[in-house]
């Protein structure tokens, strides 16, 4: 999806945020880009093209900008993606993704171009994302680049452990901190 | 030994770090947490699934705003899904002992309007909410930003979130603003210069003469939109204007507590010589009333200018063209004179009393253009009350406008206030994304003065020609 500034209103439009449970958001992922007003699929949209498949979503620069809705990450996850690649992510989207088990991979602008060129040449191009080695590879050409992730988050993602577990384990520290707080 | 000069941001951030994790985020303590009906239900479900309690219910405040109707609020909410979310907010708040301002409560309104107006928002605080425009509260010298639902669950269960410390940016605007130039124009101008992603990874301090001379309402408008340049948030050092605004408000400190707080608040400023990672300087005289022509808030320009050609904007040509095509606009066209179908004044960006005063200053003695549908939506019941007391309602009615009831309304169009496909709206809200105000809607962001000028002329109009000298 070589589009820049993909905002979370496109990923999941506001009218689909009315659920009180985290279920079924994948159906409405990119709703207005994927479907016409009469709910028929738009043939030219990438997710409607059976040639493309997989668990890695590649997007243009400034992916996930705008609203803080975690529903955007839920929709991407629920649709079946586990990794999003872009040359630049909006902060909140990146946090939200990590918090629910999607890996945001930031690559250089040059490498992103290479990925898009490879996909354009062959829609079946495979990408490999290796979290332990922090490396992303275009399998057809063997070109690769390493990516950053802090060791705390990496540990969480690898062990299925999350921030809430971590915070629960340090509650007495938080209690004494709160006792000194001005507010 | 002299102290190292420190920024306002560092002072507030560092005093809220409970623990630093090596090569990881900070465990960051949250003083105030706002919740609303859309992003909280799943967080409460999460608590339940893990068998956790709310650690400090008195630090969280709930209000219903995103999904609420703006007419007939006394009747049951029609949309069953919206009604369900409102009910969930009410039930969860009651269950965990959280203060809740639901529909019909005299304190109800948009979360970022009611927080400050009730003295919940104070200088030096850390404030979060599951809504990206939480940055609004930075106007008080607080660190305030939007969070996702997983983080809402963290704050409820432990009053902390995990945050990597952002980098620091300072934006200085000096000089005097010209006639008809509002805080909204200042921030739209800055975003047009920096682009919609220009401040990603940064926390911004707004400084300089223009912000010092600005009212609290104006400062809130500016900080509100800092997220639209990608920033984590924006803040302005508190000063006498801030203290005057807070004093006497419902939940503001009183008596001895006030004196103590005030002494602390006065220390909240960036020391001379403190270092920022990056700094920008702008001149107030370069700013004119602004309007956006594209589908992200960085695509803004002076209202008398022509739409730039793709090459001047620096971004991808294809994305730029897609955006103009969606809007039905062309490169090098003028915006002045373009037909307007809808006008929306409201939202947490421009739904405060000053915004309605500005709107009324142009509308007074004129009539609404026949073909324009106008939605005039106060940010809260308190604002609604002020509109009535100050005689603004009479001016509006006289000119053929109708006042609606408070809520987010057409800012995100989750309720019935949707701009129809293909129609053009001049909106005082914060986002002009594709479909933001309803599927297929076309949004031009602008100040309340530009909105008023469009509402009475029916086309994009420079408000300066309608303003009395
Ligand atoms: S008015 Fe708009 S931006 Fe503000 S809180 Fe409501 S939906 Fe969010």
Nearest chain B residue (CA) to A183: B31
Choose one of B411, B417, B427, B443 to mutate for the ligand 1 pocket test, by most ligand atoms within 8 angstroms of C-beta: B411
Tell me if B230 and A62 make a contact (CB, 8 A cut-off): yes
Confidence of residue B37 (pLDDT cuts 50, 70, 90): very high
Strand ranges for B369-467 from DSSP E: 373-376, 424-427, 442-445
Enumerate the residues of chain B whose CB falls inside 8 A of the CB of residue A7.
296, 431, 433
* B131 CB within 6 A, ligand 1: yes
Nearest chain A residue (CA) to B299: A5
Confidence of residue A111 (pLDDT cuts 50, 70, 90): very high
Provide the token pair at B111.
């979360």
State how far residue A141 is from chain B, nearest Cα, in angstroms.
26
Enumerate the residues of chain A whose CB falls inside 8 A of the CB of residue B413.
14-15
Q: What is the pLDDT of residue B188?
A: 98
Residue A3 lies in a domain: no
Confidence of residue B87 (pLDDT cuts 50, 70, 90): very high
Query: How many Å apart are CA B234 and CA B214, to the nearest integer?
Result: 15
Question: Does residue A36 share a domain with residue A53?
Answer: yes
Tell me if B197 and A5 make a contact (CB, 8 A cut-off): yes
Question: Does residue A169 share a domain with residue A124?
Answer: no
Tell me if A163 and B161 make a contact (CB, 8 A cut-off): yes
Instruction: List Cβ neighbours of B306 (8 Å cut-off, separation of 6 or more).
Output: B332, B333, B334, B335
Evaluate if residue B1 carries a pLDDT over 60.
Answer: no
Q: What is the pLDDT of residue B416?
A: 87
pLDDT in tens, B167-181: 999 999 999 999 999
Model ipTM value: 0.89
- Residue list, annotated binding site of B for [4Fe-4S] cluster: 348, 408, 411
Query: How many Å apart are CA A132 and CA B170, to the nearest integer?
Result: 37
Tell me if A163 and B150 make a contact (CB, 8 A cut-off): yes
Atom of ligand 1 minimally distant from the CA of B349: 4
State how far residue B226 is from chain A, nearest Cα, in angstroms.
11
Q: What is the pLDDT of residue A21?
A: 85
- Residue list, annotated binding site of B: 348, 408, 411
One DSSP character per residue, B166-215 reads: PEEEEEEEES---TT--HHHHHHHHHHHH-TTTTTTEEEEEESHHHHTS-
Confidence of residue B391 (pLDDT cuts 50, 70, 90): very high
Evaluate if residue B304 carries a pLDDT over 80.
Answer: yes
Query: How many Å apart are CA A8 and CA A97, to the nearest integer?
Result: 12
Tell me if B421 and A37 make a contact (CB, 8 A cut-off): yes
Enumerate the residues of chain B whose CB falls inside 8 A of the CB of residue A167.
27, 154, 157-158, 160, 162
* B63 CB within 6 A, ligand 1: no
Confidence of residue B314 (pLDDT cuts 50, 70, 90): confident
Enumerate the residues of chain B whose CB falls inside 8 A of the CB of residue A102.
none
B80 burial level (CB within 10 Å; 0-12, 13-18, 19+): exposed
Tell me if B18 and A177 make a contact (CB, 8 A cut-off): yes
Q: Distance from the CA of A23 to the center of ligand 1, in angstroms?
A: 24
**CATH number, position A87:** 3.20.19.10
Provide the token pair at B128.
């979060």
Q: Which of B23, B154, B159 sits opposite A152 (nearest CB)?
A: B23
Question: Does residue A128 share a domain with residue A92?
Answer: yes
Q: What is the pLDDT of residue B2?
A: 60
Confidence of residue B15 (pLDDT cuts 50, 70, 90): very high
Tell me if B132 and A67 make a contact (CB, 8 A cut-off): yes
When pLDDT is averaged across residues B103-131 and rounded to a whole number, the result is 96
User: What are the backbone angles phi and psi of residue B450, rounded to the nearest 5°?
Assistant: -65, -40
Question: Does residue A50 share a domain with residue A94?
Answer: yes
Q: b/e per residue, B163-201, with b = 16+ CB within 10 A?
A: bbbbebbbbbbeeebeebbbbbbbbbbbbbebbbbbbbb
Q: What is the CATH number of domain B290-468?
A: 3.30.499.10
One DSSP character per residue, B263-304 reads: HHHTT-SPPTT---SEEEEEEGGG---EEE-SSSTT-EEETT
- CATH for B8-287, among 3.40.50.2300, 3.30.1490.20, 3.30.499.10, 3.20.10.10? 3.30.499.10
Query: CA of B128: how far to CAs of A70, B33, B182, B226, in Å?
Result: 14, 5, 27, 15
Query: What share of chain B in percent tops pLDDT 70?
Result: 99
Choose one of B355, B406, B430 to mutate for the ligand 1 pocket test, by most ligand atoms within 8 angstroms of C-beta: B430
Higher pLDDT, B385 or B314: B385
B220 close to B353: Cβ distance less than 8 angstroms: no
A183 close to B122: Cβ distance less than 8 angstroms: yes
Evaluate if residue B387 carries a pLDDT over 90.
Answer: yes
Question: Does residue A125 share a domain with residue A159?
Answer: no
CA dihedral over B66, B247, B210, B236, signed as positive or negative: negative
Question: Does residue A183 share a domain with residue A132?
Answer: no
Residue A1 lies in a domain: no
Question: Does residue A103 share a domain with residue A45?
Answer: yes
Nearest partner of A59 among A37, A32, A81, judged by Cα: A81
Query: CA of B368: how far to CAs of A53, B100, B345, B399, in Å?
Result: 52, 37, 14, 6
Give chain A's domain count: 2
Q: What is the pLDDT of residue A102?
A: 94
Question: Does residue A93 share a domain with residue A23?
Answer: yes
When pLDDT is averaged across residues B260-288 and rounded to a whole number, the result is 97
Q: Distance from the CA of B38 to the center of ligand 1, in angstroms?
A: 11
Nearest partner of B406 among B131, B101, B52, B2, judged by Cα: B101
Mean pLDDT, chain A, integer: 92
Question: Does residue A117 share a domain with residue A49?
Answer: yes
Q: What is the pLDDT of residue B63?
A: 95
State how far residue A169 is from chain B, nearest Cα, in angstroms.
10
Q: Distance from the CA of B348 to the center of ligand 1, in angstroms?
A: 6
Atom 3, ligand 1: which residue's CA is nearest?
A: B133
Tell me if A68 and B147 make a contact (CB, 8 A cut-off): yes
pLDDT in tens, B140-175: 999 999 999 999 999 999 999 999 999 999 999 999
**Residue A134 forms contact with B (CB below 8 Å):** no
When pLDDT is averaged across residues B86-104 and rounded to a whole number, the result is 95
Q: Which of B38, B130, B197 sits opposite A88 (nearest CB)?
A: B197
- Which of A12, A13, A167, A175 is the best residue to mutate to test the B interface, defined by the most B CB atoms within 10 Å of its own CB? A167
Question: Does residue A178 share a domain with residue A141?
Answer: no
pLDDT in tens, A77-92: 999 999 999 999 998 8
Helix, strand or coil for residue B19? strand
- Residues within 8 A of B (CB atoms), A 42-61 only: 60-61
Question: Does residue A22 share a domain with residue A65?
Answer: yes
Provide the token pair at B293.
């022509």
* B220 CB within 6 A, ligand 1: no
Strand ranges for B331-427 from DSSP E: 342-345, 373-376, 424-427
Q: Which of B29, B85, B122 sits opposite A181 (nearest CB)?
A: B29
- Map out the domains of chain B as residue ranges: 8-287, 290-468
Residue A83 lies in a domain: yes
Q: What is the pLDDT of residue B155?
A: 97
Question: Does residue A98 share a domain with residue A172?
Answer: no
Mean pLDDT, chain B, integer: 95
Cα angle value B124/B9/B297 (rounded, 5°): 105
pLDDT in tens, B327-345: 999 999 999 999 999 999 9
Evaluate if residue B118 carries a pLDDT over 90.
Answer: yes
Q: What is the pLDDT of residue B99?
A: 96
pLDDT in tens, B401-441: 999 999 999 898 888 899 999 999 999 999 999 999 999 99
Range of the domain at A182: 150-183
* Residue B146 CA, distance from chain mean position: 11
């Amino acid at each position: 999806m070589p589009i820049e500034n993909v905002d979370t209103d496109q990923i999941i439009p506001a009218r689909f945020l009315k659920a009180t449970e985290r279920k079924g958001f994948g159906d409405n992922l990119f709703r207005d880009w994927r479907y016409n007003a009469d709910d028929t699929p738009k043939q030219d949209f990438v997710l409607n093209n059976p040639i493309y498949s997989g668990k890695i979503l590649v997007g243009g620069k400034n992916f996930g900008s705008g609203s803080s809705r975690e529903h955007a990450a839920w929709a991407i996850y629920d649709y079946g993606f586990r990794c999003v690649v872009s040359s630049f992510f909006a902060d909140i989207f990146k946090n939200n993704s990590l918090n629910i088990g999607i890996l945001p991979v930031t690559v250089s602008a040059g490498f992103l171009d290479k990925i898009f060129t490879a996909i354009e040449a062959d829609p079946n191009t495979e990408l490999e994302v290796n979290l332990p080695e922090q490396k992303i590879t275009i399998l057809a050409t063997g070109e690769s680049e390493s990516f950053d992730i802090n060791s705390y988050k990496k540990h969480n993602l690898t062990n299925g452990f999350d921030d809430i577990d971590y915070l629960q384990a340090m509650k007495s520290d938080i209690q004494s901190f709160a006792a000194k707080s001005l507010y | 030994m002299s102290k190292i000069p420190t920024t306002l941001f560092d002072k507030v951030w560092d005093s809220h770090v409970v623990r630093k994790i090596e090569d990881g985020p900070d465990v960051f303590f949250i003083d105030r947490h706002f919740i609303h009906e859309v992003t909280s239900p799943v967080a409460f479900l999460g608590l339940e699934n893990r068998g956790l309690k709310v650690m400090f219910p008195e630090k969280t405040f709930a209000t219903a705003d995103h999904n609420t109707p703006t007419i007939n609020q006394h009747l049951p909410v029609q949309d069953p899904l919206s009604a369900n979310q409102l009910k969930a907010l009410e039930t969860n708040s009651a269950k965990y002992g959280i203060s809740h301002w639901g529909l019909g409560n005299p304190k109800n309104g948009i979360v970022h309007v009611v927080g400050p107006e009730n003295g919940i928002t104070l200088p030096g605080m850390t404030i979060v909410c599951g809504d990206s425009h939480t940055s609004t509260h930075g106007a008080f010298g607080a660190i305030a930003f939007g969070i996702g639902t997983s983080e809402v669950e963290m704050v409820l269960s432990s009053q902390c979130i995990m945050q990597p410390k952002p980098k620091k940016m300072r934006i200085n605007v000096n000089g005097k603003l010209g006639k008809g130039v509002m805080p909204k124009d200042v921030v739209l101008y800055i975003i047009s210069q920096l682009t919609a992603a220009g401040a990603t990874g940064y926390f911004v301090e707004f400084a300089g003469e223009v912000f010092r001379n600005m009212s609290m309402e104006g400062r809130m408008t500016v900080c509100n939109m800092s997220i639209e340049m990608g920033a984590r948030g924006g803040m302005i050092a508190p000063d006498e204007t801030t203290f005057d605004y807070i004093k006497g408000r419902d939940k503001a400190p009183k008596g001895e507590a006030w004196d103590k707080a005030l002494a602390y608040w006065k220390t909240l400023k960036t020391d001379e010589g403190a270092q920022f990672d990056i700094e920008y300087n702008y001149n107030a005289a370069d700013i004119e009333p602004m309007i956006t022509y594209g589908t992200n808030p960085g695509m803004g320009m002076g209202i008398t200018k022509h739409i730039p050609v793709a090459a001047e904007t620096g971004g991808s040509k294809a994305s730029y063209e897609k955006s103009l095509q969606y809007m039905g606009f062309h490169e090098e066209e003028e915006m002045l004179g373009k037909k307007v179908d809808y006008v929306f004044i409201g939202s947490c960006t421009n739904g405060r009393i000053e915004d309605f005063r500005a709107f009324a200053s142009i509308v007074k003695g004129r009539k609404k253009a026949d073909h324009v549908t106008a939605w005039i939506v106060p940010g809260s019941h308190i604002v609604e009350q002020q509109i009535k007391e100050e005689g603004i309602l009479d001016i509006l009615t006289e000119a053929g406008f109708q006042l609606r009831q408070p809520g987010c309304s057409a800012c995100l169009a989750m309720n019935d206030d949707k701009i129809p496909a293909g129609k053009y709206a001049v909106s005082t809200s914060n986002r002009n994304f594709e479909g933001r105000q309803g599927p297929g809607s076309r949004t031009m962001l602008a100040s309340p003065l530009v909105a008023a000028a469009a509402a009475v002329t029916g086309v994009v109009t420079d408000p300066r020609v309608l303003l009395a000298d």
